[in-house]
Amino acid sequence: MKLTLKIWRQDGPTAEGRFETYDMPAVVPDMSFLEMIDVLNERLISEESEPIAFDHDCREGICGSCSMMINGIPHGPERGTATCQLHMRKFKDGEHITVEPWRARSFPIIKDLAVDRSPLDRIIEAGGYISAPTGAARDANEILIPKEAADAAMDAAACIGCGACVAACPNGAAQLFTAAKYGHLSLLPQGQPERWTRAIGMVDEMERWFGSCTNFGECETACPKEISIDFIALLNRDYIKAQFKNRRLSGQKS
């Protein structure tokens, strides 16, 4: 396959960036998008120019490191896959592909396509945990969980924290990320003790860094794990409820 790549190059967080064009005369259709950039980088190194900086780790869609805006869509046009799982056979021979980093105030560019996504960790710190007893491990089936609830929590837990939702959102909101992380803990019995502090803590922290959700739904289509905006409704509902909760009564069952 012959492809033409237009890739964002930026030397550092405060440097001016620019697009640079690279001809790729021999792309193997079975390469992943990242492997194609590896090939390009090897060529750049042999030409003694700077290789393109980009984040990657697992290359199997589970770590959330890879982050590229491909032809105006986070992780490219293929639904439900991360950039590392996107194969070149999904593109047409002779196609021009534009690659940009995620863009958001709180995702500054470190270099080229690599951005700093640490604000997502700040949101986790603000409530994305449970308190668990230490000591001997408890029996795995000690707490019964309805099947639907377990499935829903698992759907939310599929979030790999790549930040595609922020990148896709016209408002630069991290609502889907926060909602997924919130949902996967708060839908389960183990997540109940901190449920209300979690809702307030995570939302308030999120709003210090990111925009607000206006229900465009772009995030859900960009998400490599196809996490539903249903979780955003859950987060909104629990945030509102949490405002009115008397937490001293939250140990009572009903």
Residue 118 or 214 having the CB closest to ligand FES: 118
Interface residues with other proteins (CB under 8 A) are 6, 8, 12-14, 17, 19, 69, 71-73, 77, 98, 100, 103-108, 110, 116, 118-119, 122, 125-126, 129, 170-173, 203-205, 207-218, 220-222, 229-230, 232-240, 243
Residue ranges in 131-160 that form contacts with ligand FES under rule CB under 6 A: 160
Contact region for ligand FES (CB under 6 A) — 23-31, 64-72, 145-153, 197-205? 64-72
In three-state secondary structure terms, 66 is coil
CA dihedral 214, 218, 220, 221 (to 10 degrees): 170
Quote the least distance from Cβ 78 to other proteins, whole Å: 12
**Is 215 within 8 Å of 169 (Cβ atoms)?**
no
The C-alpha atoms of residue 44 and residue 119 are separated, in whole angstroms, by 32
Question: Any contact of residue 65 with ligand FES (CB under 6 A)?
Answer: yes
> CA-based angle 148:157:53, to the nearest 5?
155
Question: Any contact of residue 64 with ligand FES (CB under 6 A)?
Answer: yes
State the binding partner of 17 from other proteins, ligand FES, none, CB within 5 to 8 A by kind.
Answer: other proteins
CA quadruple 201, 202, 203, 205: dihedral sign: positive
The C-alpha atoms of residue 112 and residue 102 are separated, in whole angstroms, by 10
Residue 14 or 60 having the CB closest to other proteins: 14
Residue 85 or 228 having the CB closest to ligand FES: 85
Tell me the backbone φ, ψ of residue 152, rounded to 5 degrees: -65, -45
Contact region for ligand FES (CB under 6 A) — 51-59, 130-138, 193-201, 214-222? 51-59
DSSP class of 160? -
Question: Any contact of residue 57 with ligand FES (CB under 6 A)?
Answer: yes
Question: Any contact of residue 63 with ligand FES (CB under 6 A)?
Answer: yes
81: tokens are 């896959």
Residue 53 or 62 having the CB closest to other proteins: 53
**Is 7 within 8 Å of 112 (Cβ atoms)?**
yes
| Residue given tokens 């929590």 in the structure block | 153
Question: Any contact of residue 84 with ligand FES (CB under 6 A)?
Answer: yes
**Burial label, 157 (beta-carbon count in 10 A; 0-12, 13-18, 19+):** middle
State the binding partner of 126 from other proteins, ligand FES, none, CB within 5 to 8 A by kind.
Answer: other proteins
Contact positions toward ligand FES, by CB under 6 A?
Answer: 56-59, 61-66, 82-84, 160
